Structure 1
Amino acid sequence: MTDDQRKRVDSDVIVSEIMGLRLCVGYLGEKEQSSWWTSLWLSPHASAFLSPIYGSRADAARLNGVTEAARRVHDNRIGIGRVFHLFRLPEALESRLHDASSRTISLGPPNSVEDARNRLASIARNTDKLAEGPIRIGTPADLLKSEWTAVVAGRYHAAFQAGTMTFPYFAEA
Protein backbone atom coordinates (compact mmCIF):
# COMPACT_ATOMS: atom_id res chain seq x y z
CA MET A 1 0.00 0.00 0.00
CA THR A 2 1.38 3.40 -0.96
CA ASP A 3 1.51 6.35 1.43
CA ASP A 4 -1.32 8.07 -0.49
CA GLN A 5 -3.51 4.98 -0.23
CA ARG A 6 -2.74 4.65 3.49
CA LYS A 7 -3.63 8.32 4.05
CA ARG A 8 -6.89 7.87 2.14
CA VAL A 9 -7.83 4.80 4.24
CA ASP A 10 -6.94 6.65 7.47
CA SER A 11 -8.95 9.62 6.25
CA ASP A 12 -11.98 7.42 5.52
CA VAL A 13 -11.74 5.89 9.01
CA ILE A 14 -11.65 9.34 10.65
CA VAL A 15 -14.62 10.56 8.60
CA SER A 16 -16.60 7.45 9.52
CA GLU A 17 -15.67 7.84 13.20
CA ILE A 18 -16.70 11.51 13.25
CA MET A 19 -20.03 10.68 11.63
CA GLY A 20 -20.56 7.92 14.20
CA LEU A 21 -19.73 10.32 17.03
CA ARG A 22 -22.12 12.93 15.67
CA LEU A 23 -24.88 10.33 15.48
CA CYS A 24 -24.31 9.09 19.05
CA VAL A 25 -23.81 12.47 20.71
CA GLY A 26 -26.59 13.95 18.58
CA TYR A 27 -28.97 11.18 19.60
CA LEU A 28 -28.06 11.32 23.31
CA GLY A 29 -28.36 15.12 23.34
CA GLU A 30 -31.83 15.21 21.80
CA LYS A 31 -34.97 16.18 23.68
CA GLU A 32 -36.16 12.61 24.36
CA GLN A 33 -32.82 11.56 25.90
CA SER A 34 -30.83 14.29 27.71
CA SER A 35 -32.49 17.42 26.30
CA TRP A 36 -29.28 19.30 25.52
CA TRP A 37 -31.05 20.48 22.34
CA THR A 38 -34.74 20.39 21.55
CA SER A 39 -34.58 18.54 18.25
CA LEU A 40 -35.97 15.09 17.49
CA TRP A 41 -34.11 14.42 14.21
CA LEU A 42 -32.99 10.96 15.28
CA SER A 43 -36.24 9.82 16.86
CA PRO A 44 -37.93 6.82 15.20
CA HIS A 45 -40.77 9.06 14.02
CA ALA A 46 -38.51 11.44 12.08
CA SER A 47 -38.07 8.93 9.25
CA ALA A 48 -41.81 8.82 8.65
CA PHE A 49 -41.83 12.58 8.03
CA LEU A 50 -38.57 12.84 6.11
CA SER A 51 -38.72 9.77 3.86
CA PRO A 52 -41.45 11.09 1.54
CA ILE A 53 -39.45 14.29 1.01
CA TYR A 54 -35.86 13.04 0.96
CA GLY A 55 -36.32 9.40 -0.08
CA SER A 56 -33.06 7.49 0.13
CA ARG A 57 -31.34 10.62 1.51
CA ALA A 58 -33.53 10.75 4.62
CA ASP A 59 -30.72 9.44 6.86
CA ALA A 60 -28.35 12.12 5.57
CA ALA A 61 -31.03 14.76 6.24
CA ARG A 62 -31.45 13.45 9.79
CA LEU A 63 -27.70 13.59 10.42
CA ASN A 64 -27.50 17.11 8.98
CA GLY A 65 -30.45 18.23 11.10
CA VAL A 66 -29.11 16.92 14.39
CA THR A 67 -25.65 18.26 13.55
CA GLU A 68 -27.08 21.74 13.06
CA ALA A 69 -29.12 21.56 16.29
CA ALA A 70 -26.06 20.45 18.26
CA ARG A 71 -23.82 23.00 16.50
CA ARG A 72 -26.05 25.87 17.61
CA VAL A 73 -26.00 24.77 21.26
CA HIS A 74 -22.25 24.19 21.22
CA ASP A 75 -21.60 27.54 19.52
CA ASN A 76 -23.80 29.28 22.08
CA ARG A 77 -21.88 27.73 24.99
CA ILE A 78 -18.35 27.85 23.51
CA GLY A 79 -18.43 30.74 21.05
CA ILE A 80 -17.39 30.89 17.42
CA GLY A 81 -14.28 32.06 15.63
CA ARG A 82 -11.07 30.05 15.69
CA VAL A 83 -12.79 27.48 17.90
CA PHE A 84 -13.67 23.98 16.76
CA HIS A 85 -15.77 21.22 18.25
CA LEU A 86 -17.39 17.96 17.13
CA PHE A 87 -20.18 19.80 15.35
CA ARG A 88 -18.08 22.63 13.86
CA LEU A 89 -14.81 21.43 12.38
CA PRO A 90 -12.40 23.10 9.96
CA GLU A 91 -13.92 23.73 6.54
CA ALA A 92 -11.88 21.08 4.70
CA LEU A 93 -12.97 18.39 7.15
CA GLU A 94 -16.60 19.56 7.10
CA SER A 95 -16.49 19.33 3.31
CA ARG A 96 -15.26 15.73 3.47
CA LEU A 97 -17.97 14.90 6.00
CA HIS A 98 -20.62 16.44 3.77
CA ASP A 99 -19.38 14.48 0.75
CA ALA A 100 -19.44 11.26 2.76
CA SER A 101 -22.96 11.88 4.05
CA SER A 102 -24.11 12.67 0.52
CA ARG A 103 -22.92 9.27 -0.69
CA THR A 104 -24.35 7.14 2.10
CA ILE A 105 -24.90 6.88 5.81
CA SER A 106 -24.20 3.27 6.61
CA LEU A 107 -24.18 3.57 10.39
CA GLY A 108 -27.74 4.63 11.08
CA PRO A 109 -28.78 6.31 14.30
CA PRO A 110 -28.59 4.43 17.59
CA ASN A 111 -31.61 2.32 18.54
CA SER A 112 -31.54 3.23 22.23
CA VAL A 113 -29.67 5.17 24.88
CA GLU A 114 -27.76 2.01 25.75
CA ASP A 115 -26.80 1.46 22.10
CA ALA A 116 -25.54 5.06 21.80
CA ARG A 117 -23.55 4.83 25.03
CA ASN A 118 -22.04 1.51 23.94
CA ARG A 119 -21.02 3.00 20.59
CA LEU A 120 -19.43 5.96 22.39
CA ALA A 121 -17.64 3.64 24.81
CA SER A 122 -16.22 1.61 21.92
CA ILE A 123 -14.51 4.74 20.56
CA ALA A 124 -13.79 6.49 23.86
CA ARG A 125 -10.58 6.85 25.79
CA ASN A 126 -10.49 8.08 29.40
CA THR A 127 -14.23 7.91 30.09
CA ASP A 128 -13.55 8.91 33.71
CA LYS A 129 -12.51 12.49 32.81
CA LEU A 130 -15.67 14.40 33.66
CA ALA A 131 -15.78 18.13 33.10
CA GLU A 132 -18.96 20.16 33.08
CA GLY A 133 -19.51 22.98 30.58
CA PRO A 134 -17.06 24.10 27.90
CA ILE A 135 -13.66 22.42 28.22
CA ARG A 136 -10.65 23.13 26.00
CA ILE A 137 -9.05 19.79 25.17
CA GLY A 138 -6.51 20.85 22.58
CA THR A 139 -5.53 23.11 19.74
CA PRO A 140 -6.77 23.09 16.14
CA ALA A 141 -3.52 21.29 15.21
CA ASP A 142 -4.71 18.32 17.31
CA LEU A 143 -7.53 17.81 14.80
CA LEU A 144 -4.91 16.53 12.37
CA LYS A 145 -4.22 13.58 14.68
CA SER A 146 -6.55 10.60 14.66
CA GLU A 147 -6.76 10.15 18.45
CA TRP A 148 -8.82 13.30 19.07
CA THR A 149 -12.03 11.40 18.36
CA ALA A 150 -11.33 8.98 21.24
CA VAL A 151 -10.69 11.87 23.63
CA VAL A 152 -13.88 13.69 22.60
CA ALA A 153 -15.91 10.46 22.81
CA GLY A 154 -14.57 9.89 26.33
CA ARG A 155 -15.61 13.36 27.47
CA TYR A 156 -19.13 13.00 26.09
CA HIS A 157 -19.46 9.45 27.43
CA ALA A 158 -18.53 10.59 30.95
CA ALA A 159 -20.97 13.52 30.77
CA PHE A 160 -23.92 11.46 29.56
CA GLN A 161 -23.21 8.81 32.23
CA ALA A 162 -23.12 11.49 34.95
CA GLY A 163 -26.11 13.44 33.62
CA THR A 164 -24.12 16.65 33.07
CA MET A 165 -23.45 18.75 29.98
CA THR A 166 -19.97 19.08 28.50
CA PHE A 167 -18.71 20.87 25.43
CA PRO A 168 -15.17 19.79 24.50
CA TYR A 169 -13.48 22.13 22.05
CA PHE A 170 -10.20 22.94 20.32
CA ALA A 171 -8.73 26.45 20.36
CA GLU A 172 -5.38 28.18 20.57
CA ALA A 173 -4.26 28.85 24.11
Structure 2
Amino acid sequence: MPIVDLVLNYRFLIGYLGEKSQFDWWGSNFLGASSPAFLMYPYPRTMLLAQYHGVCEAALLVHDEYIGVGENYHLYRLPDSLEREVSKAVQNIDMKERLLSKDSAVEALEQLVYSEVEKSEGPVNVGVFNDEGLELMLKVAASHYLNAFKKGYKSFPYMKEA
Protein backbone atom coordinates (compact mmCIF):
# COMPACT_ATOMS: atom_id res chain seq x y z
CA MET A 1 0.00 0.00 0.00
CA PRO A 2 1.44 3.42 -0.90
CA ILE A 3 2.52 5.49 2.10
CA VAL A 4 -0.12 8.18 1.42
CA ASP A 5 -2.90 5.58 1.51
CA LEU A 6 -1.45 4.05 4.66
CA VAL A 7 -1.40 7.44 6.41
CA LEU A 8 -5.00 8.11 5.36
CA ASN A 9 -6.17 4.71 6.56
CA TYR A 10 -4.48 5.20 9.92
CA ARG A 11 -5.76 8.75 10.32
CA PHE A 12 -9.34 7.77 9.62
CA LEU A 13 -9.30 4.58 11.71
CA ILE A 14 -7.42 5.96 14.71
CA GLY A 15 -9.23 9.29 14.41
CA TYR A 16 -12.58 7.50 14.49
CA LEU A 17 -11.61 5.21 17.37
CA GLY A 18 -10.25 8.13 19.39
CA GLU A 19 -13.47 10.12 19.10
CA LYS A 20 -15.91 10.74 21.93
CA SER A 21 -18.38 8.03 20.87
CA GLN A 22 -15.72 5.29 20.77
CA PHE A 23 -12.73 5.49 23.17
CA ASP A 24 -13.02 9.21 24.05
CA TRP A 25 -9.39 10.31 23.59
CA TRP A 26 -10.56 13.58 21.99
CA GLY A 27 -13.91 15.29 22.27
CA SER A 28 -14.90 15.37 18.61
CA ASN A 29 -17.46 13.30 16.71
CA PHE A 30 -16.68 14.25 13.10
CA LEU A 31 -16.80 10.65 11.86
CA GLY A 32 -19.83 9.61 13.89
CA ALA A 33 -23.17 8.54 12.43
CA SER A 34 -24.83 11.91 13.12
CA SER A 35 -22.01 13.99 11.65
CA PRO A 36 -23.29 14.05 8.03
CA ALA A 37 -26.55 15.65 9.15
CA PHE A 38 -24.60 18.65 10.46
CA LEU A 39 -21.89 18.84 7.80
CA MET A 40 -23.95 18.21 4.66
CA TYR A 41 -25.46 21.70 4.61
CA PRO A 42 -22.27 23.80 4.92
CA TYR A 43 -20.09 21.31 2.99
CA PRO A 44 -22.32 19.52 0.43
CA ARG A 45 -19.50 18.65 -2.00
CA THR A 46 -16.62 18.38 0.45
CA MET A 47 -18.18 16.74 3.49
CA LEU A 48 -15.58 13.93 3.63
CA LEU A 49 -12.81 16.50 3.53
CA ALA A 50 -14.47 18.48 6.34
CA GLN A 51 -14.80 15.31 8.43
CA TYR A 52 -11.19 14.39 7.76
CA HIS A 53 -9.81 17.82 8.67
CA GLY A 54 -12.03 18.02 11.74
CA VAL A 55 -10.99 14.69 13.21
CA CYS A 56 -7.33 15.29 12.31
CA GLU A 57 -7.33 18.68 14.03
CA ALA A 58 -8.94 17.21 17.16
CA ALA A 59 -6.38 14.39 17.25
CA LEU A 60 -3.50 16.79 16.48
CA LEU A 61 -4.31 18.99 19.47
CA VAL A 62 -4.36 16.05 21.88
CA HIS A 63 -1.17 14.54 20.42
CA ASP A 64 0.63 17.87 20.63
CA GLU A 65 -0.49 18.26 24.24
CA TYR A 66 1.06 14.90 25.19
CA ILE A 67 4.09 14.90 22.87
CA GLY A 68 4.82 18.58 22.44
CA VAL A 69 5.46 20.60 19.31
CA GLY A 70 8.91 21.00 17.87
CA GLU A 71 11.37 18.29 17.02
CA ASN A 72 8.89 15.42 16.80
CA TYR A 73 6.51 13.98 14.21
CA HIS A 74 3.45 11.85 14.83
CA LEU A 75 0.56 10.46 12.81
CA TYR A 76 -1.23 13.81 12.76
CA ARG A 77 1.86 16.01 12.29
CA LEU A 78 4.09 14.90 9.42
CA PRO A 79 6.48 16.85 7.15
CA ASP A 80 4.75 19.42 4.94
CA SER A 81 5.48 17.63 1.67
CA LEU A 82 3.77 14.45 2.92
CA GLU A 83 0.90 16.44 4.44
CA ARG A 84 0.20 18.01 1.03
CA GLU A 85 0.17 14.61 -0.70
CA VAL A 86 -2.15 13.15 1.92
CA SER A 87 -4.57 16.10 1.69
CA LYS A 88 -4.80 15.69 -2.09
CA ALA A 89 -5.68 12.00 -1.74
CA VAL A 90 -8.48 12.31 0.84
CA GLN A 91 -11.29 12.45 -1.73
CA ASN A 92 -10.07 9.20 -3.33
CA ILE A 93 -10.46 6.94 -0.29
CA ASP A 94 -13.57 5.05 0.79
CA MET A 95 -13.66 4.34 4.52
CA LYS A 96 -17.44 3.90 5.00
CA GLU A 97 -17.39 0.14 5.59
CA ARG A 98 -14.50 0.38 8.05
CA LEU A 99 -16.10 3.15 10.12
CA LEU A 100 -19.52 1.60 10.65
CA SER A 101 -18.78 0.62 14.25
CA LYS A 102 -16.05 0.46 16.84
CA ASP A 103 -15.62 -3.26 16.13
CA SER A 104 -15.30 -2.81 12.36
CA ALA A 105 -12.70 -0.06 12.84
CA VAL A 106 -10.68 -2.16 15.31
CA GLU A 107 -10.84 -5.10 12.92
CA ALA A 108 -9.64 -2.93 10.00
CA LEU A 109 -6.82 -1.53 12.13
CA GLU A 110 -5.75 -5.05 13.11
CA GLN A 111 -5.09 -5.74 9.41
CA LEU A 112 -2.70 -2.76 9.16
CA VAL A 113 -0.45 -3.15 12.21
CA TYR A 114 3.08 -4.49 12.53
CA SER A 115 2.84 -6.85 15.49
CA GLU A 116 2.01 -7.01 19.17
CA VAL A 117 3.72 -4.38 21.31
CA GLU A 118 4.19 -4.01 25.04
CA LYS A 119 2.06 -1.59 26.99
CA SER A 120 3.45 1.94 26.60
CA GLU A 121 1.20 4.55 28.15
CA GLY A 122 1.56 8.20 27.16
CA PRO A 123 4.17 9.36 24.63
CA VAL A 124 6.21 6.53 23.12
CA ASN A 125 9.12 6.97 20.70
CA VAL A 126 8.97 4.62 17.71
CA GLY A 127 12.18 5.82 16.04
CA VAL A 128 13.89 8.61 14.17
CA PHE A 129 11.92 9.91 11.20
CA ASN A 130 13.24 8.97 7.76
CA ASP A 131 11.48 8.34 4.47
CA GLU A 132 12.83 4.81 4.03
CA GLY A 133 11.65 3.58 7.42
CA LEU A 134 8.39 5.53 7.62
CA GLU A 135 6.10 2.64 6.67
CA LEU A 136 7.49 0.40 9.40
CA MET A 137 7.41 3.19 12.00
CA LEU A 138 3.77 3.95 11.14
CA LYS A 139 2.87 0.26 11.48
CA VAL A 140 4.59 0.07 14.86
CA ALA A 141 2.79 3.27 15.91
CA ALA A 142 -0.53 1.74 14.79
CA SER A 143 0.29 -1.32 16.92
CA HIS A 144 0.65 0.96 19.95
CA TYR A 145 -2.68 2.66 19.23
CA LEU A 146 -4.45 -0.68 18.76
CA ASN A 147 -3.00 -2.11 21.96
CA ALA A 148 -4.03 1.01 23.89
CA PHE A 149 -7.58 0.94 22.51
CA LYS A 150 -7.97 -2.75 23.33
CA LYS A 151 -6.49 -2.54 26.83
CA GLY A 152 -7.96 0.77 27.95
CA TYR A 153 -5.09 3.25 28.18
CA LYS A 154 -3.80 6.12 26.01
CA SER A 155 -0.65 5.87 23.92
CA PHE A 156 0.78 8.59 21.68
CA PRO A 157 3.52 7.25 19.38
CA TYR A 158 5.92 9.75 17.85
CA MET A 159 9.10 9.90 15.77
CA LYS A 160 12.09 12.10 16.52
CA GLU A 161 13.06 14.52 13.78
CA ALA A 162 16.28 13.48 12.06
Q: Aligned equivalents of 2:15 and 2:137: distance in 1?
A: 18
Alignment of 1:36-55 (within 5 A): 36-55=25-44
Q: Aligned equivalents of 2:113 and 2:121: distance in 1?
A: 17
Q: 1:145–1:36: structure 2 CA closer, same or farther, 3 Å change rule?
A: closer
| Larger-Rg structure | 1
Q: How far 1:56 sits from its partner (Å)?
A: 2.9
**TM-score, length-scaled by structure 2:** 0.92
Runs of 5+ unmatched residues, structure 2:
none
Comparing both structures, which one devotes a greater share of its residues to helix?
1
Runs of 5+ unmatched residues, structure 1:
1-9
Q: How far 1:129 sits from its partner (Å)?
A: 2.6
Q: 1:150–1:78: structure 2 CA closer, same or farther, 3 Å change rule?
A: same
% identity of equivalent residues: 36
**TM-score, length-scaled by structure 1:** 0.86
Helix, strand or coil at the partner of 2:99 = coil
Q: Aligned equivalents of 1:40 and 1:110: distance in 2?
A: 12
Count, aligned residues: 161
Q: How far 1:55 sits from its partner (Å)?
A: 1.4
Q: Aligned equivalents of 1:97 and 1:78: distance in 2?
A: 22
What letter corresponds to residue 40 of structure 1 in structure 2?
A: N
Deviates more, 1:144-153 or 1:35-44: 144-153
* Cα RMSD after superposing both structures: 1.7
Q: 1:143–1:83: structure 2 CA closer, same or farther, 3 Å change rule?
A: farther
**Could you report, residue by residue, the CA deviation over 1:59-118 in whole angstroms, capped at 9, with x for unpaired residues?**
1110110000000000011001121000111111001011112x4332236111111111
**Could you report, residue by residue, the CA deviation over 1:29-76 in whole angstroms, capped at 9, with x for unpaired residues?**
111111110001011100111112211311111011000000000001
